[in-house]
Amino acid sequence: MVDSTIAAASVIAAAIAVGFAGIGPGIGQGNAAGQAVEGIARQPEAEGKIRGTLLLSLAFMESLTIYGLVVALSVLFANPFAG
Amino acid sequence: MYTFLLSKIEVGSHYYINFSESLHLHGETVFVSSLVVFVMSLFLIVSTSNLQRVPSTLQSLGEVVYDLVKSIAITQMGPSYYSQFLPFIATIFLFVLGSNLAGALIPWKFIEISSGELAAPTNDINTTACLAILTSLSYFSAGLKIKGIGFFKRYIKPAPFFLPLNIVEDFSKPLSLNFRLFGNVVADELTVAVICSLVPLIVPLPVMMLGLFASSLQALIFATLAAAYIGEVIE
């Protein structure tokens, strides 16, 4: 059976990993989306191009959060310390 | 090794096909990815077999895919080198797109297997690791083929003390490609699974649509990044 201290610590670690990984990309995505809206408002005819670039860069920022999620998942489901 | 079981969400359990003590296959991943390869090959063969000047529906679809992949390759690698690497980029794109859509569109839950569950092949970290390592190998070989021994000059590019940083980058590139694709696919499935366990009807549908969109975007991103990494070493 799993040591209960390790299980509890793993769950807390997973929560912290996802939570903190969300902060930076959240700020970044907000900035990017804001700038994109500004760009569209200034130049409505460039909307298609701006949207494409925005989606691509949002997905790149998203992947930073996903790294946190991968750490959380490996802590929860493939914990190396849980014997 | 143990796995938590949180409301029937399974991560990291597989249907093992054992060959010997240390050699085994993840049966469900191999099955679904062969299916994806088969369907994608069939699509490409059928859509290009009877080319017309006024294209049929299938041919138009093939042309759209070709245009998309070609524009990725040209913007990242430039018009003089892109044609050598277009097949690789197109293969990566189609395989990742096919596997993500196979995981999102086909109701695999109806087919029960003894352990693990049928899902997108990119749900297994081994598939994405394989794709990332292939990308890494292909940019090494592209650099060596086009630049010869001068390829190694890029390790001391801005200044010689960047050498360790550049070497670390060679490892971090495939790692980040790997985790990005794997994490996104697993995140989609986990979100849907968690919401389904809370509210099983209607509410998961918009999340599933978002997952469908995100998984096709991931295919685009993987192909773009592979092309960008190759373009970086040959420029």
Range in A9-23, B82-96, B109-123 with the lowest mean pLDDT: B109-123
Model pLDDT, residue B161: 87
d(Cα A36, Cα A31) in Å, to the nearest integer? Answer: 9
Quick one: three-class SS letters along B136-205? Answer: HHHHHHHHHHHHHHHHHHHHHCCCHHHHHHHHHHHHHHHHHHHHHHHHHHHHHHHHHHHHHHHCCCCCHH
Contacts of A77 in chain B (CB under 8 A): 3-4, 11-12
Q: For the residues B1-11, what does the mean pLDDT come to?
A: 51
pLDDT in tens, B208-225: 898 898 888 889 989 998
Q: How far apart are CA B69 and CA B63, in angstroms?
A: 10
Q: Decide if pLDDT at B8 tops 70.
A: no
Q: Token pair for residue B29?
A: 């991943």
pLDDT at residue number B7: 45
Asked if A18 has any chain B CB less than 8 Å from its own CB, the reply is no
Is the per-residue pLDDT at B201 higher than 50? yes
pLDDT digits (tens, 9 = 90+) for A11-65: 899 999 999 999 999 999 999 999 999 999 999 998 888 888 888 888 888 888 8
Helices and strands (DSSP H and E) totals, chain B: 6, 2
Question: Domains of chain A (ranges plus CATH)?
Answer: 4-77 (1.20.20.10)
Q: Who among B4, B187, B218 is closest to A77 (CB)?
A: B4
Name, in order, each residue with C-beta under 8 angstroms of A68's C-beta and a sequence gap of 6 or more.
A17, A18, A20, A21, A22
* Average pLDDT value for residue range B20-39: 86
Question: Tell me, what's the pLDDT at B9?
Answer: 62
Measured between CA atoms, how close is A16 to chain B, in angstroms?
A: 17
Report d(CA B162, CA B173) in Å as an integer.
16
Question: pLDDT digits over B163-200, tens only?
Answer: 888 888 889 889 989 988 998 888 888 888 888 888 87
Give the three-state DSSP class for A8: helix
Share of chain B above pLDDT 90, in %: 27
Two structure tokens written together for A28: 């970044």
Q: How does DSSP assign B50-91, residue by residue?
A: S--SS--HHHHHHHHHHHHHHHHHHHHH-TTTHHHHHHHHHH
Q: Is the pLDDT of residue B10 over 70?
A: no
Predicted ipTM of the assembly: 0.73
Q: What is the mean pLDDT of residues B94-111?
A: 86
Query: Contact at 8 Å (CB) between B131 and B177?
Result: yes
A63·B176 Cβ contact <8 A: yes
* pLDDT > 70: percent of chain B: 95
Q: What is the pLDDT of residue B166?
A: 87
User: Of B183, B190, B221, which is closest to A67 when you measure between CB atoms?
Assistant: B183
